[in-house]
Amino acid sequence: MNSAKTAAAPPVPGQIEPLAVETPFQRFVSDFSESKLAVACFFAVVAIILLAIFAPLIAPTDPYNLALVTVADKTLAPGMVMQDGTTTLLGTDGSGRDLLSSIIYGLRISLTVGIGSAIVALAIGVVVGLVAAYAGGRIDNIIMRIVDMQLSFPAILIALVLLVTLGKGADKTLIALIVVQWAYYARTVRASAMVERRKEYVESAHCLSLSRTRILLKHLLPNVLAPIIVVGTVQTAHAISLEATLSFLGLGMEQTEPSLGSLISNGFEYIHSGHYWISVYPGVALLLTIVSINIVGDRLRDVLNPRLSK
Amino acid sequence: MTSATPPLIEARAVTKRFEKRLDLAAKAARLLGADLEDEIVHAVDAVDLQVFPGEVVGLVGESGCGKSTIGRMIAGILPPSDGEIAFDGKAMTAMSGQEKRAAALAVQMIFQDPFASLNPRMRVEEIIGEAPLVHGYVDRAGLAAYVDEIMLKVGLDPALKRRYPHQFSGGQRQRIGIARALAVKPRFLVCDEAIAALDVSIQAQVINLFMDLREEFDLTYLFISHDLSVVEHISDRIVIMYLGRVVESAPTEALFAAPKHPYTQALLAEAPRLDQRSRDFLPIKGEIPSPLHPPSGCHFHPRCPHAMEKCSAVRPMLRPQGDRWQAACHLLD
Ligand SMILES: Nc1ncnc2c1ncn2[C@@H]1O[C@H](COP(=O)(O)OP(=O)(O)O)[C@@H](O)[C@H]1O
Ligand code: SF4
Ligand SMILES: [Mg+2]
């Protein structure tokens, strides 16, 4: 079929073959949408992000305004009415804060730390990985030894040691998460850049005397982006759960800015006294967030993986 | 060579070694007695090659004999390990910035794989227009017209220029690659198996396009192929390679009429003449030796029916054998 098409002598200008002019992006969107679950999860992620951004507008109460919080509302079960007359959908915690509001604010902190650390780590990893692949030789060797070394330790261990050394707080948690993550990006970027740089379009760019910077940024980078996006999504979920773990262990966030992990931790002491909701609902929120992001990431991997794509 | 004009492109004793050094783990293993050493592939071994202005030279040899590596060195993609490439009589390494860039742009390469050779994230107009814009052959205002003109020259509809490579057939993609090269006004094209990946029905069209462009732009070609029958009809001269070395070089008709080197003779005996195509000619008894451990003396001696004692000891040099004819064989000394 193809051969017949080209066999037609020099084409007449203006006479366009009936072939859908779809950009790679359009093709990507239609491939992605073939999984309804992934689409649902994508919208869930968008909703979660919107929830985090507009937390003050959406949350029924402001859980950090101490003037509004009263111990009289302590450990109210879901559905009960608080002192100020509002119904608490998911119950209240041990200090009388509305749990739904705490979760929405906690989501905000968890997402900020998770996404923030992922973005910075991605930027560092992309630069390091591209330089390693393109420079090759000794520089590549040194960089990759460091990456290997870092990846041979469990992430949680490195983060724990860092936080024990640095102390608690949002900024320190962010630093710990960046340190833990950059190497994954560097390795992924280097691996795909090594494959891409051997391809003939890169040789052609050399042959056309294009500058190294141009080849790196305009030719290599766009072609190694796909696997980075996949790693980025999965790493974000990973960072969020890592932060939750650290906060649960009392090492991550301060009590004044509780993330979902801190909320689970706070509620844990009540679990045996029957006030299950204080710990369980933040846990459910965390689980939904992580699962949704991971499903989107998996779908991205399937769609962007050239070996599986049609 | 009797020609008075200097060769447009010349490889002077060009060698390329690919070294695969042992990594730390392998070095440690060797300390413990493992039989490991640095591996060195002699892909190209002191090759002399000249292409004169206006010539079409076919470079032929079995797969893995170093044709692509030579092509890449000539096109400036790979640096030689030893020896030098000269353009218009002047060594590339002896050139200064401006001159070097002009020479580099004057030599362009057409690749085998019509898929890997185009950046999948760029539109056709950008693939073709990027280099001429960067190098100032055309300004932004004139770019669209410039790209249109080149697309027409290679038989592509300019209306398709906003498409991406995956939206084209193999033959059309190869035309895009040709347009990209033409856009920097080259004088010399290295075509590395440029039609091998295409449907047979399309191969002839692309060959014809190359020949038309030759007339129009005064191009000189190095046509690389593992298939003698592909280059037979278009080459003025044919250069035969075996395991990293040139073994014979002669005008096409003379070579086909009376090949002098035993390897060429074997190739011609095996390759069915005329239009019985053989995609991979599998000539001659025996395996092709590995370029990791090439045979001593004449590389061809383990398979040569005329091998003498001297052949396994001394490398035969490429020597003139008459008008524009060279061969490397002790029989001909
Ligand atoms: N980048 C490289 N690294 C290591 N070995 C290579 C590389 N490129 C080519 N070679 C080796 O050099 C030899 C010649 O390869 P090539 O020039 O591609 O041959 P041809 O084009 O004639 O098939 C082969 O043995 C090949 O394996
Ligand atoms: S040099 Fe010897 S082995 Fe080599 S081709 Fe000539 S006769 Fe054969
Ligand atoms: Mg080749």
Contacts of A250 (CB under 8 A, 6+ apart): A265
Q: Is ligand 2 within 6 A of the CB of residue B27? A: no
SS3 content of chain B, % helix, strand, coil (to 5): 35, 20, 45
- pLDDT at res. A310: 39
What pLDDT was estimated at residue A9?
A: 47
Indicate the pLDDT class of residue A273, thresholds 50, 70 and 90: confident
Angle made by CA atoms B4, B320, B311, in degrees to the nearest 5:
155
Between B61 and B276, the higher pLDDT residue: B61
Q: For residue B319, what pLDDT is reported?
A: 94
pLDDT-derived band at A64, boundaries 50, 70, 90: confident
Ligand 2: centre distance to CA A191 (Å): 45
Residue B208 CB less than 6 A away from ligand 1: no
B71, B224 contact by CB (below 8 A): yes
Question: Which residues in A lie closer than 8 A to residue B156 (C-beta atoms)?
Answer: 11
Q: How far is the CA of B228 from the centre of ligand 2 (A)?
A: 21
A209 to chain B, closest Cα gap in Å:
7
* Atom in ligand 2 nearest the alpha carbon of residue B298: 4
Residue A164, number of CB atoms within 10 A of its CB: 11
Determine which helix (DSSP H) or strand (DSSP E) holds A267, and give its type and residue range. helix A260-268
* B16 Cα nearest atom in ligand 1: 12
* A285 CB burial (10 A radius; 0-12, 13-18, 19+): buried
Using a 6 Å cutoff on CB, does residue B246 contact ligand 2? no
Among A98-107, A244-253, B22-31, name the one with the lowest average pLDDT. B22-31
> What's the confidence (pLDDT) of residue A95?
78
Lowest mean pLDDT among A141-145, A259-263, B86-90: A259-263
Distance (Å) from CA A42 to ligand 1 centroid: 46
Find out whether the beta carbon of B14 lies less than 6 Å from any atom of ligand 1. no
**Exposure letters A129-145 (e unless 16+ CB within 10 A, then b):** bbbbbbeeeeebeebbe
Contact B11, B36 (CB under 8 A): no
Q: Give the pLDDT score at B37.
A: 74
Please report which residue ranges of A95-220 form alpha helices under DSSP H.
Answer: 99-135, 137-151, 155-166, 170-197, 200-207, 212-214
Cα-Cα end-to-end distance for chain B: 18
Chain segment A209-230, per-residue pLDDT in tens: 999 999 998 999 989 888 888 8
Return the percentage of chain B with pLDDT > 70, whole number: 94
Mean pLDDT computed over every residue of chain B: 90
Q: Report phi then psi at B213, rounded to 5.
A: -65, -30
Is pLDDT larger for residue A47 or for residue B293?
Answer: A47
pLDDT tens-digit series, residues A107-125? 999 999 999 999 999 999 9
A interface with B, Cβ–Cβ < 8 A, is: 2-3, 5-7, 10-17, 19, 21, 23-24, 199-201, 203-211, 214, 218-219, 222-223
Residue in B101, B156, B170 closest to A11 by CB: B156
**Cβ pair A240, A114 in contact under 8 A:** yes
Give residue-wise pLDDT tens across range B150-196: 999 999 999 999 999 988 999 999 999 999 999 999 999 999 999 99
- pLDDT at residue B322 is higher than 60: yes
Q: Is pLDDT of B133 > 90? A: yes
Contact B134 A12 (CB under 8 A): no
Say which residue, A102 or A256, is predicted with more confidence. Answer: A102
> How far is the CA of A262 from the CAs of A2, A69, A96, in angstroms?
60, 18, 16
Q: Is B244 in the pocket of ligand 1 (CB under 6 A)?
A: no
Average pLDDT, chain A: 85
Asked if residue B118 has pLDDT above 90, the reply is: yes
Q: Average of pLDDT values for A62-85?
A: 78
Mean pLDDT across B91-105: 93
Residue nearest to atom 16 of ligand 1 (CA): B66
C-alpha A162/C-alpha A173 separation (Å) is 9
Whether residue B280 is predicted with pLDDT greater than 80 in this model: the reply is: no
pLDDT over threshold 90, residue A22: no
**How distant is the Cα of A115 from the closest Cα of chain B, in angstroms?**
27
Q: Between A23 and B328, name the one with better pLDDT.
A: B328
Q: Is the CB of B188 under 6 A from ligand 2?
A: no
A38-60+89-308: CATH homologous superfamily? MetI-like (1.10.3720.10)
Q: Are B165 and B119 in contact (CB under 8 A)?
A: yes
Q: How many CB pairs under 8 A join A and B?
A: 99
Q: Which helix (H) or strand (E) holds B48?
A: strand B39-51
Q: Quick check: CB of B306 below 6 Å from ligand 2?
A: yes
Which residue's structure tokens are 């080259």? B186
Selected residues 256-295 of chain B with any CB under 8 Å from a CB in chain A: none
- The CA A71 to ligand 1 mean position distance, Å, reads 77
> Stretch B206-226: mean pLDDT, rounded?
96
- Considering A134-143, A178-187, A259-268, the range whose residues carry the highest mean pLDDT is A178-187
As a whole number, mean pLDDT of residues A247-257 equals: 85
What type of residue sits at position B98? Q
Q: Report whether pLDDT(B284) > 80.
A: no
When pLDDT is averaged across residues A154-182 and rounded to a whole number, the result is 92
Predicted confidence band at B271 (pLDDT cuts at 50, 70, 90)?
A: low
| Complex prediction ipTM | 0.90
Bigger pLDDT: B166 or B237?
B237
Distances B285 to A158, B73, B246, B331 between C-alpha atoms, Å: 61, 31, 20, 20
Which one is predicted more confidently, A61 or A173? A173
Q: Does B184 touch chain A (CB under 8 A)?
A: yes
Whole-number pLDDT of residue B33: 76
Q: Which residues pair with B16 in a beta bridge?
A: B44
Percent of chain A whose pLDDT exceeds 70? 91
pLDDT at A104: 93
For chain A, the structural domain boundaries read: 38-60+89-308
Question: What pLDDT score does B285 carry?
Answer: 67
